């Protein structure tokens, strides 16, 4: 029997521990694997993020996949970056998303095109992530960015991203406060691998009346962990975790990665309002992580 889906805002407002997951849309039109995975998780998670051409790699639109997830019974979180759209297109996509049942928006700046697969693409960056949050606030209040009255307001919950393991942390905390003032109601963090450091970050931001979901990124093998350490700012996988993945061998590295993810979820749970689980190229492991971490 399928469980009744819970809405992310409702879970956060009630102070319950929220669980969100993430999918990349297909690079093409084959959506079957994503749909199959998502069907099995209806009622087990409270929100499902859909990335917006993450790492500047061209994929199907977040908006389209969000609608498919909505029809399955999920509460989608549409990611919206500034890289590819000007303020007119951003607002048009937000209104379009609202018409299609989407109520959660994660506001992001977006990776520069040179890191992706269309390196000659012209970046837009008309606005930044904070301004998208301000746009969302305006649309919720029935006005567009230029101050024109809307024929029907939106009812969005806006979210932002934060990197709790950034060094130094000061600038990140300042940006966090700016995003709160711009209307962010929840945050999903960059991958967490140092729960004690995350606990200190949470102490620093608890004065703000917003919800924070700790980012849990599944490590598939030691090579992936080393790549992240070399290329992802603000992420640092401890050497002992890399050793653990390597010791598991190629066949069993993913099992070690699941164990690390579950351990991390249990360590951060007392300090935050939920977790955001990212299982890149391993979404088949999401049910196992949820079960082993006693999340639903």
Tokens standing for residue 219? 């490590």
Angle at alpha carbon of residue 115, lines to 111 and 116, rounded to 5°: 90
Name the token pair of 145: 């960015």
Q: In this structure, is residue 2 part of a structural domain?
A: no
User: 3-state class of 289 per DSSP?
Assistant: helix
Residue with tokens 């469980």: 3
In the block, residue with structure tokens 């990349």 = 24
| Residue 224 included in any domain | no
**DSSP 8-class letter at 145:** T
Distance CA(53)–CA(35), nearest Å, equals 18
Distance in angstroms (rounded) separating the CA atoms of residues 237 and 197: 13
The pLDDT value given to residue 5: 58
Buried b (16+ CB within 10 A) or exposed e, 99-113: eeebbbbbbbebbeb
Characterize 23-37 residue by residue with b for buried, 16 or more Cβ atoms within 10 angstroms of its Cβ, and e for exposed: bbbeeeeebeebeeb
Q: Please state, in angstroms and rounded to a whole number, the distance separating the CA atoms of residues 218 and 86.
A: 33
Name the phi and psi angles at 42, rounded to 5: -65, 125
Residue 78 lies in a domain: yes
Q: How crowded is residue 140: how many other Cβ atoms within 10 Å of its Cβ? A: 17
Residue 276 domain flag: yes
Q: Would you state the structure tokens that stand for residue 266, as one six-digit string?
A: 């249990």
Domain count, the chain: 1
Which tokens hold the place of 64? Answer: 């389209």
In a domain, 152, yes or no: yes
Helices 62-72 and 32-39 cross at an angle (nearest 10°) of 40
- The closest of 18, 13, 25 to 47, measured between CA atoms, is 18
Give exposure, 207-228, as e/b (b: 16+ Cβ within 10 Å). eeebbbbbbbbbbbbbebbeeb
* Domain assignment present for 238: no
Residue-wise pLDDT tens for the chain (296 aa)? 445 556 999 999 999 999 999 999 999 999 999 999 999 999 999 999 999 999 999 999 999 999 999 999 999 999 999 999 999 999 999 999 999 999 999 999 999 999 999 999 999 999 999 999 999 999 999 999 999 999 999 999 999 999 999 988 999 999 999 999 999 999 999 999 999 999 999 999 999 999 999 999 999 999 999 999 999 888 999 999 999 999 999 999 999 999 999 999 999 999 999 999 999 999 999 999 999 999 97
> Could you tell me the residue range of the domain that residue 38 belongs to?
8-219+268-292
CATH number at residue 127: 3.20.20.220
Q: What is the pLDDT of residue 1?
A: 40
């Amino acid at each position: 029997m399928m469980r009744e889906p819970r809405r992310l805002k409702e879970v956060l407002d009630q102070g319950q521990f929220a669980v969100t997951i993430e999918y990349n849309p297909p690079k093409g039109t084959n959506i079957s694997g994503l749909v199959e995975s998502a069907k099995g998780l209806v009622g087990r998670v409270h929100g499902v993020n859909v990335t917006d051409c993450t790492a500047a790699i061209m994929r199907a639109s977040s908006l389209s996949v969000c609608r498919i997830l909505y029809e399955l019974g999920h509460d989608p979180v549409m990611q919206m970056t500034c890289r590819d759209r000007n303020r007119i297109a951003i607002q048009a996509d937000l209104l379009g998303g609202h018409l299609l049942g989407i109520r959660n928006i994660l506001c992001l700046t977006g990776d520069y095109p040179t890191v992706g697969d269309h390196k000659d693409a012209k970046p837009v960056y008309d606005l930044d992530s904070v301004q998208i949050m301000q746009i969302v606030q305006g649309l919720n209040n029935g006005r567009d960015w230029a101050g024109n009255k809307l024929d029907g307001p939106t009812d969005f919950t806006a979210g932002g991203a934060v990197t709790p393991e950034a060094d130094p942390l000061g600038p990140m905390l300042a940006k966090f406060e700016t995003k709160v003032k711009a209307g962010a109601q929840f945050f999903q963090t960059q991958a967490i691998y140092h729960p004690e450091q995350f606990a200190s970050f949470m102490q620093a931001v608890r004065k703000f009346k917003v919800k924070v979901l700790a980012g849990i990124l599944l490590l598939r093998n030691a090579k992936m962990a080393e790549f992240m350490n070399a290329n992802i700012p603000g992420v640092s996988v401890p050497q002992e975790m890399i050793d653990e993945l390597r010791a598991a061998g190629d066949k069993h590295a993913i099992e070690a990665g699941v164990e690390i993810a579950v351990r991390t979820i249990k360590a951060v749970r007392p300090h935050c309002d939920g977790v955001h689980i990212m299982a890149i190229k391993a979404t088949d492991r999401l049910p196992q992580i949820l079960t082993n971490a006693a999340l639903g």
